[in-house]
Structure formats: C-alpha cells, structure tokens
Amino acid sequence: MIISIASGKGGTGKTTVATNMAVSVGTDVQVLDCDVEEPNAHLFLHPTIEEIQTITTPVPEVDMAKCTLCGKCGEICQFKAIVVIGETVLPFHEMCHSCGGCMEVCPEKAITEAGREMGVIERGHRNGMEFVHGKLRVGEAMSPPLIRKVREYARPGALTIIDAPPGTSCPVIASMKGADFVLLVTEPTPFGLHDLKLAVGAVRILGIPCGLVINRSDMGNDEVWTYARQEGIPILMEIPFDRRIAEVYSRGEMIVEAMPEWKEKFLDLYHRIEKLAA
Amino acid sequence: MKEIVVISGKGGTGKTSIVSAFASFAENKVLCDADVDAADLHLIMNPTIRERHDFQSGYTAIIHRDKCTECGLCRDLCRWHAISEDFVVDPIECEGCGVCYYFCPEKAIDFPLNTCGEWYISDTRFGPMAHARLGIAEENSGKLVSLIRQQGKVLAEQNNLNLLLTDGPPGIGCPVIASLGGAAAVLIVSEPTVSGRHDMERVAELAAFFRIPSMVCVNKFDLNPEQGEAIEAFARDKNVRVMGRVPFDPVFTRAMVQGQTIAEFDSGSEGCQAVRKIWENLAEDIGI
C-alpha cells in the first residue's frame, strides 16, 4: 500500500506524521521523502545511508560539424531551450524539459544527449525500515523528474509512506499520483483550511481516497471540522498543541520515542487508513 | 523601486504573517503574493479585485480519435508515458512538449494553449496588491510568479510607490527561483528546528547562487534557542544579515483567525514588537 502525506500549506506536520507513523508500524515499511526541494525526514529518522546515486536528465548537445543551421530544433522546442543564433546553435540546458524533440527532428543527426544533474537520491535503512529521499541540486528548477525517480523505489507488497512537498502544483501531483490513500495534514487556521481545500481539490482530480490529521488542533478555529463534515472527509487523528512536542521536533527527535504514549495513536492512525484504503 | 522577497525554504515558518505585519509598518508599497500555489496573503489583506485576467501558459496534446490510425508513433516518442494504449492523452502527465503533435503523420493531434490560473490587480487597506491563483494540479507556477512580480512592479511605477513587498513560495525549485531575479534582497524567515535550519541553509545557498543579498530572521526563537543561534551563526558565516528574533507568540494565530495583521490585532504584543524591530532593521539595511 502507498500512503502519500500531503497538506497544501507548508509546516503543518507532514514529516512528523510520516516519520512517526512509519516508526510505529515498524517492519516492512519504506519512507520515500519526495519533498526533494527541502527533504527533512532524514533529520528525524537518522537513517544509515548505504547508496548515493546522482540523477541526471538528458539535454541536447549539438555537433556543429554536422549542423546545417536549419533551425528545426528551435522550432520544435516549446521551452526555448535551443536556439539558432547566427552561425551557431545554443542549447540552454537549464530550460530543457528533456522531451527529446530536437534530437528526433534533426535531419542531420547532429544532436546527441548529455546529462544535466538534477540532484541525488540517497537510500539507506533505519533498523528494518527502508529510507529513500531525493535532494534537488541547489539551482535546479524542476523537481518532478527527481520525485518520479524516488518513487521508482516503491516496493510492491511493502507499506510505502511518501512525504510530499507543500503546495498543489506539479511536484505535489507527482508525489500523490498512483497512491492508494492520501493523508492530508492540516492546522485549524484560515491559512491551513484555505490550502487544505486546494489539496482536497488535487486529491479529487486524482480520484484517491483521503483522510485528515488536524495538527495543533486547539490553535485556531473550528471551521476545518465543519468543512470536513460537509465534504465527508474522515478526521483520523487530532494532535493538540503541546510545547513538548514542538521542542522534541525542534531537536530532530521522534515523538513516539520521546513520548512513547503517542506510538499507539500513530499505529491506530495507520490501522484506520488501512481500513479506508481497502 | 526596491523589492523585498520573503522566503523560507521550509513551509509554515510564518512568511505570510510577517509580510502582513510589514504591510502595517511600511509606507508607499505594493503587495505581491508570489506563493501562487497556495496563496494565503489575501486572507489577511481582504483585497477588492479591480482587474481579473486569465493566466495562459503551456500546451496540452489532444488526440482526435476520428483521424488517428493508431500507428503508435506518438506513444513511441512520448517520454512522459502520457498516451494510453487506446490513444488518450493524460493531461496530468502531458508535459506540453509538442513532440507528438509535431510528428503525427495524420495531423490527428491538437495542441491548444492552457488556461491554468487567474491573476488579479486589487486594492487593499494597505495599498495596491498583485496576486494570483494557479489552477489545482497545474504547471508553470514559475511563469505565473514572474508575471505577478512584473505586475507588482508596474503597479509601483504607476502609483509612484518605492517598495514592492513580495510574499514568496516555500522550497528551492522553479517558483522560488522565479521569485528571486532582480530583488533588492530576500528575507529568509526561519524557525529554530533541525528542519528549519536545514531548509534555511539550502535556500540561502540558492540566493547566493543567484547573487541576491539575503537576510534572515528566526521565528519562534525560544522554542529552541540553541538551534536559533546555530542558524544565526551560519548566517553570519555566509554574509546573510541577521535581522532579529521573533518569540513564539499565539497572538499570530489569533490575528490570522480575525483576518488581521498582528499590528492591527495587538500592536503591544511581544510578537508584534519583535516584527516591528525586524522591519526597522530591514528598512534601514536596504535604504527605504
């Protein structure tokens, strides 16, 4: 089963829920941190990294000895990533989406592909749990290709918990698509609710069942409960504000280890998801 | 005209609450919400929309089954696996590269321009505001960020205002990169947690990569002073100017629930005083 943990608004507690639920379930679990722009799960899980892989995406290189300056490459490119200027062809690697169109269209076969580094994927373990995350190279704009690479590590038969990035656009979609269940972590504030509605919209486009965790449930107002009831979205867990939890988090510790009474609650959260996803 | 962009790396550190407070303190400014993915500034600014425009960007392929001979060339060429076995394009997977459209021997593929959001020019009690709404699950957020910042600049020029105050997106990817170019400085709002620190370091590196001067403030400082100090030490080491500390103060949430800036809600609160000090430091630093 794949459970993707998303939120819309950032900082609502996605990583806290993802890591603590994973540790509570214990065996045959993998955590895939797909927030490749700002991956954080490793700061709490402290996995032993066993494998580091550099991920590249293909970008064009032009052999000017073969090029006739016909301009077809610039014509097919939708991303202005290759242009003929005077007597030369300039590829702009940072703009390239790696569609391969320029290489395909070149009548002289003057274009080959080299790799642009997108970032790295690190894989390791914490006790029996498998851990994988992507780290986008600082300066790289496109995160979805790296997110898709991280997701390739999902093992059929295992419980795969995905920590998704904030927002509702392409990186979030890449982190939720194909999941069996999306767990939305929100806070009962106007910002939390506004962004939750967007996230629910995204989940509905993908047609995935979802449920809610309300974090810092006593800081804000009650509108998120009204919204959840109206929309028929089950509330699977509430976490009241507790300065001890905030401090445990701030130090990079697991709540279920520093405050063991929470382990049962996170396990219960998982069992409720299991029933809803079935 | 100078632009300050407020970013954070990590989400939920308090960017929008701090930008809202700045809106109370700053004079002669235009507000801009560049977090187009999950825009929240309007919930405090309560804008009256004066202009509404479609945001059009990117293309999506559509296969006309009546003309399609199922030769399969499009499926072979598509690197996004966006075309199903029965030749239907999945608009979510389609990257808009147009390769299928270009090569289809039957000219059976259309490639229409997408309308993927809206952008607005508004009036608020704090002055003019440029903001936007990216459609759910849409792409091209970076282009919308660039567009909305450009509109903010136009508004500033038209109204003879000397400051553009931009609420930026979280992360370090395409929308953040689009929010940096040409800014006078970025203010990184961090929090004293291992994740806040990790993410601040990455976004500070990004700002340095694009040679944008950066400043940092640590929100909820007292939650973990040790982490807060580590963030400030990192900043000093990287020539990121330290602007101040904000204490953990539930008044931020209460102000948000009322749709008010913290200065409107409780100007005497510890949180408000701290943000005011940061604003004064920042204004002095960039010379406005």
- What would the pLDDT profile of A176-201 be if each residue is shown by its tens digit? 999 999 999 999 999 999 999 999 99
Reported confidence tier of residue B137, pLDDT bands at 50, 70, 90? confident
Residues A86 and A178 both lie in one domain: no
Residue A156 has pLDDT above 80, yes or no: yes
Nearest-Cα distance to chain B for A94, in Å, is: 11
Give the CA-trace dihedral at B58, A11, A165, B178, to 10 degrees: 40
Between the two ends of chain B, the Cα-to-Cα distance in Å is 9
Residue B12 is classified by DSSP as T
Q: Which residues of B touch A198 (CB under 8 A)?
A: 38, 136
Say if CB B246 and CB B190 are below 8 A apart: no
Long-range contacts, stretch B82-89, CB < 8 angstroms, 24+ apart: B87/B63, B88/B63, B89/B60, B89/B61, B89/B62, B89/B63
Residues A212 and A143 both lie in one domain: yes
pLDDT computed for residue A244 by the predictor:
96
> Chain B contact for A11, CB < 8 A?
yes
Reported confidence tier of residue A31, pLDDT bands at 50, 70, 90? very high
Model-level pTM? 0.96
Residue A278 has pLDDT above 90, yes or no: no
With a CB-CB cutoff of 8 Å, which residues 191-250 of chain A face chain B?
191, 194-195, 198, 201-202, 205-206, 219-221, 243, 246-247, 249-250
- Rounded Cα gap, residues A134 and A38, in angstroms: 9
Residue B140 has pLDDT above 80, yes or no: no
- Rounded Cα gap, residues B61 and A92, in angstroms: 24
Residue B186, SS3? Answer: strand
Across the interface, whether the CB atoms of A168 and B195 are under 8 A apart is answered no
Percentage of chain B beyond pLDDT 70 is 100
- What would the pLDDT profile of B68-102 be if each residue is shown by its tens digit? 999 999 999 999 999 999 999 999 999 999 999 99
- Rounded Cα gap, residues B135 and B155, in angstroms: 24
Residue A141 has pLDDT above 90, yes or no: yes
pLDDT computed for residue B204 by the predictor:
98
Residues A124 and A170 both lie in one domain: yes
Mean pLDDT of A123-148: 96
Residue B117 has pLDDT above 90, yes or no: yes
Across the interface, whether the CB atoms of A205 and B38 are under 8 A apart is answered no
- Rounded Cα gap, residues B169 and B10, in angstroms: 9
Which of A109, A131, A146 is the C-terminal boundary of a domain? A109
Which of A72, A88, A109 is the C-terminal boundary of a domain? A109
- Rounded Cα gap, residues B127 and B198, in angstroms: 35
Residue A262 has pLDDT above 80, yes or no: yes
Q: Does A79 reside within a domain?
A: yes
Q: Which of these, A83, A117, A86, lies nearest to A102 by C-alpha position? A: A83
Residue A133 has pLDDT above 90, yes or no: yes
Residue B151 has pLDDT above 90, yes or no: yes
Hey, what domains does chain B have and what are their CATH numbers? 2-56+116-286 (3.40.50.300), 61-111 (3.30.70.20)
Residue A43 has pLDDT above 80, yes or no: yes
Q: Does A216 reside within a domain?
A: yes
The residue range of the domain holding A72 is 64-109
Residues A199 and A85 both lie in one domain: no
Across the interface, whether the CB atoms of A104 and B77 are under 8 A apart is answered yes
Say if CB B283 and CB B67 are below 8 A apart: no
Say if CB A208 and CB A3 are below 8 A apart: no
Q: Which of these, A44, A43, A48, A83, lies nearest to A67 by C-alpha position? A: A83
Residues A161 and A69 both lie in one domain: no
Q: Does A114 reside within a domain?
A: no
Q: Does A172 reside within a domain?
A: yes
Q: Does A145 reside within a domain?
A: yes
Reported confidence tier of residue B2, pLDDT bands at 50, 70, 90? very high
Across the interface, whether the CB atoms of B173 and A198 are under 8 A apart is answered no
Residue B106 has pLDDT above 90, yes or no: yes
Per-residue tokens: A33: 């941190």
